[in-house]
Every structure is written in C-alpha cells, then in structure tokens.
Chains A and B, each alone.
Chain A
Amino acid sequence: MVKLNINGQIHDVASEPDTPLLYALREDLALNGAKYGCGVGQCGACTVLLDGKPVFSCLVPISVVDGRAVTTLEGLGSADKPSPVQRAFIELQAAQCGYCIPGMMVRAEALLQRLPSPTTAEIRAHLQPNLCRCGTHMRIVAAVQRAAELSKSTAPQKI
C-alpha cells in the first residue's frame, strides 16, 4: 500500500506503485478536480501541486509521491468555502466547458503563492503549459488577476 498525503490527509491507496497519481486521485479517492486530458504531460488538465509546485499528475507515479504533500483543486476550497482563486473564476465566469479550468486554477494557485501580484505577462508565462480548447484564455488570465486582488483583501492583516 502506498501512503498519499492529499490535501493534508493521509490515505492508504490500493493502486499499484507505478500508477500515475492522476488515477489514484480519481479512482482511489474519487476526487474530480484533476482531469485526464492527454496522459503525456502536454495539456495540464491533471495539474496538482506537489510540495507546492505544479506537476502533471498523469506523469507522476504514486511511488514517487509517497508522503509528499499533494494539493488538488479540492484542497483549494469547496463550494461552500471557495478559495480566492475559485471565487475569482466564478465571479468572472471564466469557463466555457470548464474541463481545463481545474488545472488552470491549481497552477494559478502556485503562482499566487510565490508571486502575490503577478503581471499579465507573468500569468501568461506561468500558465503556458496548460491548454484550453474553448478559447477561454482571456477570462482565465483576468480571473487570475482578480484572484490576486481577492487574496490580498482576504489575507490576514500584518500588524
């Protein structure tokens, strides 16, 4: 059994150790956030954070993940308590089919943790690995900017 640390919770999963993290998330843990898009690291639909860094979960076998902190879309927030990134995407209606958006949001989260006020150019460069086929890009970029504003206004004030 491989132990996975997903969104702060430890799980024993039944998948074989060579199973890509994507399948363990979707099958063992019934999490919907990470999506299958290509399985070969070309689209970003499966993006999760591994120790805070965005990775393609379709490429990472769970044996490698063992114990490291994995954050999925579910770890950002929920329908009742959406994170700033989620609130921003909902506010700007930044989705058409929405299939690519979870990967976009998770990757954006990594950027905002590192760079709380990114420029448009920085957002675009950061999102470069992720593909969207519906052409939602403009709203996605705007939503990440909006998320940066929301994060600041909700961040605990330093005295």
Chain B
Amino acid sequence: MSQKLPDANLTRRALLTTGGALVVSFSLLPSLGLAQAPPADTVSPQPSPPQPLPGSLKTSPMLDAWLRIGADGSVTLFTGKSELGQGIRTALTQIAAEQLGLAFAAVKLITSDTQQTPNEGYTSGSQSMSDSGTAIMHATAQAREILINLAAEKWGTAADGLQAKDGSVAAPDGRKLGFGELVAGQTLSVRAGSTSKLKMPQTFAIVGKSVPRVDIPGKLTAAPSFIQDMRPAGMLHARVVRPPSPAAKLLRIATSAVETLPGVKKVIVDGRFLAVVADREFRAIKAMEALAAAAEWSESPSLPKQSEIFDVLKSLPNKVYTIRDDKGPAGAVTKSLEAAYSRPYQMHASIGPSCALAQFSDGQMTVWSHAQGMFPLRQAIAELLTLPEDKVRCIHVEGSGCYGHNGADDAAADAALIAIGVPGVPIRLQWMREQEHAWEPYGPAMAMRVKADLDGDGRIATWDYSVWTNTHSTRPGGAGSTLAGQLKAQAFAIPAPQIIPQPAGGGDRNIIPLYKIPNVHLDHNFIPEMPLRVSALRGLGAYANVFAIESFMDELAVAANADPVAFRLKHLEDPRARDVVSLAAEKFGWQAAAKLGPGRGHGFGFAKYKNIAAYCAVAIELEVERETGHIRLLRAVAASDSGQAVNPDGIRNQIGGGIVQSASWTLHEAVAFDTTRILSRDWSSYPILHFAELFETVDVHVIDRPGMPFLGTGEASQGPTGAAIANAICSATGVRIRDLPLNAARIKQAIGV
C-alpha cells in the first residue's frame, strides 16, 4: 500500500544561527499554496494538514519528536509507548529501519520519558502498533524523503532515482551522502504531512521478519534489564506498610522502636500512609515488619460478601448505555434461549511485585517507573506533591509483565511521596508480594445476561445482551487515583469513575457480536460505585464479554442442531473473520461430529479484539476427569490476523502467551475476600496455572496481510480461549458452566458425581 505523497515536497529551508551552531529547519508544507508559512521552529502558526495525521502523529506532529539524526549519522527513534514484554521495542525498530533503509541494528530507540519522548498516553489496549507503529512508519518515511530531497538539492539533481540505503542517500551514478552529512546534526523540525511515500510491502526486508527481540539476550544473561535492577549510587531502600484492610483506621503507632533499628534512616507516618527507609534492603524489610507490628488498627467490614457479589453489583445504582438497538426483519422464531454468565474479580498478579525509584533534587522530582503511562503518572505525582508538572520527570523502566493497570503507578507515587522527604537521595521502593496481591486494582467483576431467538433456518433472529460492571480504568487519573494519594492524611478524593466510550469500550469492550443478526439490543449497565478497588486488566471487558458471547453461540448451535464452527460461519460475513475461523478449524482438524476419546471434548472461540483490532480464533481439546473435575488441557490451535505482521514470531509469542494466561484465568482465578479483608494475599491463596496443567501443544497460525494497517494483538486471544475452554468442557461432559472460574470444584459439582 504505497500512497504517493502529494505534499511531501521540501518547499522551504531556513538557515538560522544560534549560539554558533548552525540550525537547519525544514518545513514540509501541504501543496496548497501555503509556501510562505513561517519557519518550522516557530511551530504554532503552522497550517494544519488537510487530513488527520496517522497514528500518534495526531498528537505529536513534529518529526523530530519521533526521530533524530546525529551529525555522525546515528539514528535515534522516540516512542511514547513502553516495552512491557510484548516486544514493542523490536517491532517499532523494525518499522523505522525498514522505512529509512537502515540495518535493524542501526536504529536506537528511546521509550517513554516525559523529558524526551512524545506523549502517547498509556501503553495499553493493544494500541502500540496502531498508535506508535503507524506514527513511526509515517515519520520515518517522510524523513527519508526529506533526506533524499536534501541530497538532490546538494547535487542539483532530481530526487527521483535517489535511494536511502544503509545510512546514506545514494545516486544511480554511485555518489553517496551520509544521513549525518545531510542534516549536519540538526533536528527535523518539520510538521508531518498526512500521507507518506511508504515502501511497498513486497520490498520489505525487515518488516514481516521474525527479528529476534532486542531485549531478550540481556534479560537472559543477567544484564540490568528491570527497574528492580537499578542501583544508583547512594540509593536507600524503602518499604511501605499497608493497612490490614481497605477501611482500616490507624488508632495509634509507636515509631521510636523502629527508628532505632539498625540502618533505619526514616520512618514516615502520614495518615494511613506508613513507610520506612533504610540503608540496606533486608533492613528495610525488618523495619517494615517492626512498623507493621507497632501499628494498631481498627478494622471494619466494608466489602460485600463474596458469594453475593453479583447480586450486590446489580443492586447498586447504574447508568445504562445502550450500545446498539438494531431492528430488522427476521424469520419466525422457533426457539428462545437465555443464559447468565459471570466473571469474578481477577488480578494482574505480576510475577515481580511493583517497584519504583524516585529522587528529589534541586526542586526536581525524578521518578523511574514501570507504569503504562509516564505523562499521566507525572500529572498524578505533581498533584500528589503539589509540584508544577515541569518539576516532575517520569521515566519508564521495564518491570515484570503488568497486563494492565497493576500496582506500578501506586508504587511510583509511594516512592515519590517518600523521596520528597529525603531530598537528594535516590529511594528504591519495592512492594512485597502480599502488598501486590492485596492492593493492586483488580479486573472488575462482571455479570452478563444474554437472550436470543432462533428462526426456522437455525439463524439467530434476535440478540439481547446486558453487562453489569464497574469502570474498567481508574488509571491516573490524578493523585486521588493512587494509593498514596488516598492513604495520606491530606487525602485526595478518588476521581469519579469514567466509562471508556465505544469503539474501544471498557466493561462493554467487545459487547458487539461480530455475527450478522437482524435484531440486536446491547446494554452496558455502568455501576459507578466500586466495592473493591478496580482498574484495567488485560482486555478489559473483552475477556468476559467474549466468554459469554462465544459460550452462548455454542448453546445456540446446540439448540439449532448445528456444528459450532459451521454455526459461526453461517453468521459471519467479514471475510477476514471467516478466514481465521476456517483456518483455526482446519489446522485443529475440527470434525463435525467429534470422535474424541472418553472424557474428551473440544471447543471453539472467536473474536475480533475490540471489534477494531486483531482477529483471533482458538480451538481447544481437553479432557475432564469426572471424579475430581480436573481438567487436562491437550491442544490449543489459534489463527490470528493482525494486519501487516511486523514480527510474526512476536505475534505467535503474544497469542500463545495469551492462550496460556487465559487458561489460568479461566480455570483458576478469583480474588477471595471476606467482608473486611482481601484474602488472596499470595500464590497459595490466589492459585494460577502451573506447568503440570499446561497444554500438550499450542500452535498459532498467523495470517499476514501485507500493507494492511497494524492491528493490536496483545489482548486478542484471551476471550476466545476462555470460551473455547468452557465449550470444550461442555463438549466433554454435556454440562454448561457459566460462572468463571471453571475450577475443579465447580466442574465436579456441575457434573454431579
């Protein structure tokens, strides 16, 4: 998909001198007779491009926000997104190297840092490729054309026929000028055009290749790779002490015994925000334990009964958002079905508990964090500390996988609140396992109810679906969305929860079935009051909505006496959707009447993530041990379509990982709580999938669509997998279980042996 750029002509070049250095500014102007625009270093009066800019260029339109070329020809790329273990560093570098005609290794990438990179909000929603990847593709393509034009100008030749290759612009006669010579170390202060001269997909040398991830060798050979590995000189170790339960009030605390423990530098008591600072890590832990023992709390019940959570949620005031109300002609109804599904609170439960570093020096707060959005975090911390935003810098450093809004932001706010009281010293705050489990914001509980009618042809005539849930994002959000802001004496109010509008959606993400149904009514019952602290967990509402929709599709298929795959295809028009469904079924060896062994079942699930991102279909075979309800996962076969596949192995890794993670959510996970306390406080009280329960095989088939837009993949397989497992259990046992998790106890009870 190469689009010829109408406006990518170098129409103005201004030479300015500042402080002895030559500053060259280029201006790419739309070919609309606007040739007399001011030089690009006076950015604001620039004319707006006629079309919206692609990806995150919309919000950061200057090319030098995305890439800089040094006098030595070195190319540095900037992204506001962060590496979260999804391989984004590698994929973004591939895109830039491709468009600039550079070797992969020649591009250096700087990720999210409020002082250096564009503001791209959060790294979430599987949007890094569509936001940042698209922006970088266009920015680098346009930069390449500028370089070519500069060379043409120097040589006094036409730009046609010149090529950017291996860091130089080359002419057909063999002449060459290095990128560095061309820009002489100056920045590309150019506003991006809305279209670019993109390379043709069939000429790609780097995009579409499974380039090994740049971060993996370091991580696997113990190079400092994670925030936990940072050890700036003079660093002190901090630990927080959390209340025993969300509503606990601090009655009294005697800190003097803690203050005199070896190595203790500071004890902080600020309302319910308690912390210690010590010279060595284990001393900080001992001080934390001593401070916890010294605190007297009064606890009171503030949580609903876990067994009644869905009734409680449904009884709370809600606001109904009708997402769709389609009316169309349909055949006479022959059968009607109704079912209710649920998903409990589930947690991110990162393997590495949250960590942050903060240093307050000369009125400037610097925070290193593995949170998903450095710019929103900066705003929250500035508010928390009553500092102007320009006095706070937030730099992303990798943590362990977060899968959404986990404790990272809270740890960053904790570290900043501690560090401001210990000026000049880098403070490393590490959460303990129990703190991560008990205090991270959980993926919200969800209740789904669906009714449908079938006509005489076995087609779905009407579909009526409702979901009840809280907000699915309380991300900063301001200081009040951080635990530090909520716990300190001068507490900040928790911001009012917001919905995330369609098409992305929050609790209603993927609420729209992709199937062709003439009458569709969809309600999102948004419940503002949050009995437990919640926020974005990978996929948001998509996991449970797809679980419900795709479970119900199987229930309807049974009622229509149809094969589940054929039933889906009968209702699917989107050819790309049909392709992934058909490919997954084919590679799985799906049989109309499955002749699987005793106790065995197979199941299918499909979704187009958010209805705007990657397509994914998953087929699963498993075995149920009737006496115990234990599941043995046998095979998973997935087919996915992420548009242009930048790094196919990266896609396989994400889809395959999502399948295994979703199997864990689906079979095991529910946050346990009584009316006072969170009870899931470690890995034994919140079990996840172990190796013993692993699939025998997981195969992922990637459909590449060269030239098509990038479609986010990181959250595509979780929903289809959950449904495929539920459907396979039903196929194996004849019993339909609609409440997650589908654990052994539930299965045994449902089978009734």
Contact = CB atoms under 8 A, between A and B. Distances in A.
Contact of A42 (B231, B399, B683): B683
Interface in B362-397: none
A78 B282 contact: no
Given A131-B683, A131-B690, A133-B351, A101 B282 contact: no
Q: Chain A binding site: helix, strand, loop or mixed by DSSP?
A: loop
B661 A133 contact: yes
Nearest to A37: B351
A116 interface: no
Which bracket fits the contact residues of A?
Answer: 35 or more
Nearest to B692: A128
Interface in A55-98: 72-74, 77-79, 82, 86, 89-90, 93, 95-98
A86 B692 contact: no
Interface string B174-218: 000000000000000000000000000000000000001101111
A6 to B, nearest CB: 12
Contact of A96 (B226, B401, B663, B695): B401
A102 B219 CA distance: 8
Interface in B437-480: none
B682 A40 contact: yes
A130 B403 CA distance: 19
B430 interface: yes
Contacts of A93: 212-213, 216, 649, 653
A137 B653 CA distance: 11
Given A96-B653, A139-B653, A90 B220 contact: yes
B42 interface: no
Contact of B430 (A16, A31, A36, A78): A36
B691 A127 contact: yes
Nearest to A125: B692
A111 interface: no
B217 A135 contact: no
Given A19-B282, A138-B660, A139-B656, A31 B222 contact: yes
Contact of A97 (B401, B430, B691): B401
Contacts of B400: 35, 97, 99-100, 133
Contacts of A141: 691, 694
B222 A95 contact: no
B698 A138 contact: yes
B281 A27 contact: yes
Interface string A124-159: 110110111111111101000000000000000000
Interface in B347-366: 349-353
A102 B220 contact: yes
A39 interface: yes
B589 interface: no
A128 B430 contact: no
Q: Which of B352, B398, B663 has the most CB of A within 10 A?
A: B352
A36 B222 contact: no
A65 to B, nearest CB: 14
Contact of A135 (B212, B262, B352, B664): B664
B219 A95 contact: yes
Contacts of B649: 93
B658 interface: yes
A138 B695 contact: yes
Contact of A72 (B222, B657, B691): B222
B225 A32 contact: yes
A20 interface: yes
A36 B224 contact: no
Q: Which of B281, B403, B432 has the most CB of A within 10 A?
A: B281
Given A32-B226, A101-B219, A135-B657, 6 more contacts: A33-B222, A37-B433, A45-B351, A72-B222, A79-B218, A99-B401
